[in-house]
Structure 1
Amino acid sequence: MINPQAQIQIRARLDEISIARQFVLEMGRQAGLDEKSLHHCQLAVDEACTNIIEHGYGEATDSDQTISLTCSYGKRNFTIEIVDSGIRFDPLIHITPDPTNELTQREPGGWGLYFIKELMDDVHYEYRDARNHLTLTKLLPAPGAAQTNRKGNSHQVVVTGLADNLEVFELTGAIDSQASQKLEQQLVERITTGRKYLVLDMAGVDHISSGGLKMLVAVWKRAHDVKGDLALAGLQPPLLEVMKMIGFDLVLKIFDSQESAISHYVD
């Protein structure tokens, strides 16, 4: 019996990664992955594609350069093969960051590879026919496990000012590398205008990349430089899992809801 398989090709651009995430989401759902595993696969693919675009192709990126993704599944495994023609790069031989280090002492890079290795059940690399072949495997859950109808939403922001120095950002969709750049500019701008206490309501966020996590660290540092703070609220279980994996829950204030976060600063 031939396993179900599908393939897409995206241009090597950051704004095309959402297409890859949606493709993996749809194929993973067909394969029977649960919500947690779907999030793992989407995050791993986001990180792999971002690395290819920023480092594999780098400044040489043009409209002709592409990334190919093939998803297939059988009774036990869901497999994603990512192929590119950028510089030869084996992620398995590179040392990943230590999540036990203090937040202020951590190097900014390497977290994408950390997530790929930690979240997938198997990772295989091969350089063949002058192309990088990265194969990611996720074990399928037991029959009858709950699935999700979650969709890959675009990023949106709603801002509410509650006090002279406190502001709430209600975020929805995906905070990937592209969205995090714009969001960091917004948050830093608010800090410089005196809103030194920021609450990010992330109840509507279904995905955050390592670029988004680096953005949180940068904004947290800027807030602390002016004796302020950055807090997160309403994190969905998959995102909370990622935060705990790298020790963010030990440094950043994380609240169950926007209301509890606001009460912490207002009261």
Structure 2
Amino acid sequence: MPPALDITIPPDTEAVARLLDALEAFAEEAELPPKVAHRLAVVVEELAANVAMHGGSGPGAATFVAVTVRQQDGAVIASIEDDGRAFDPLSRAAPDTEAALEDRDVGGLGVHFVRQMTRSLDYSRADGRNRLVAVLDASG
């Protein structure tokens, strides 16, 4: 059976660093090509860091970030879940990367880059949890 990763961390930036170590170990065990391992790390780090930075404090804050990663049918599937207030980062319009810097809205570039690196990216909300599922090509 191919390796899988199942890890739950607190929603803080220090824990995201530990998550990256676990992702690196998963990529080695799964023998992912370096390009795929790098994309996986960038995608999961961005999504988990978003929870830590934007959903980890205040009313309705997340108390955990749960990450699962597995391989299936030529893809690497990463699921990032949290129990914070409802927020769909995919509902924001894509940033206008052609606009001058001073004319651009703040934020949104991380999710934009994640979309560019994944085959698909889907958001859902169920049972009081936000869930983002990112599908990446496993062949690089």
TM over 0.5: yes
User: Normalised by the shorter chain, which TM-score bucket?
Assistant: 0.7 to 0.9
- Does 2:48 align with 1:49? yes
In structure 2, the partner of 1:13 is: 12
Query: Which blocks of at least 5 consecutive residues in structure 2 are unaligned?
Result: none
- Does 2:107 align with 1:109? yes
Q: CA deviation at 1:20?
A: 1.5
Distance 1:34 1:100, change over 3 A: farther
Share of identical aligned residues, percent? 24
Q: CA deviation at 1:139?
A: 1.2
In structure 2, the partner of 1:169 is: none
1:123-175 per-residue CA deviation (whole Å, 9 max, x = no partner) reads 12111111111111111117xxxxxxxxxxxxxxxxxxxxxxxxxxxxxxxxx
In structure 2, the partner of 1:191 is: none
SS in 2 for 1:115: helix
Give the TM-score, by structure 2 length.
0.85
1:13-71 per-residue CA deviation (whole Å, 9 max, x = no partner) reads 11111111222222233333322222222111121112212222333588x91111111
Query: Which blocks of at least 5 consecutive residues in structure 1 are unaligned?
Result: 143-267
* The structure with more radius of gyration: 1
The structure whose RCO (Cα within 8 Å, separation 6+) is larger is 2
In structure 2, the partner of 1:141 is: 139
C-alpha distance in structure 2 between counterparts of 1:42 and 1:15, whole Å: 15
Opposite residue 48 of structure 2, the aligned amino acid is C
In structure 1, the partner of 2:76 is: 78
Q: How does 1:57-136 map to 2 (within 5 A)?
A: 57-60=56-59, 65-136=63-134
C-alpha distance in structure 2 between counterparts of 1:132 and 1:110, whole Å: 18
Q: CA deviation at 1:109?
A: 0.8
> Is the contact between residue 60 and residue 84 of structure 2 (CA under 8 Å) also seen in structure 1?
no
Aligned length, in residue pairs: 140
Distance 1:98 1:50, change over 3 A: same
SS in 2 for 1:58: coil
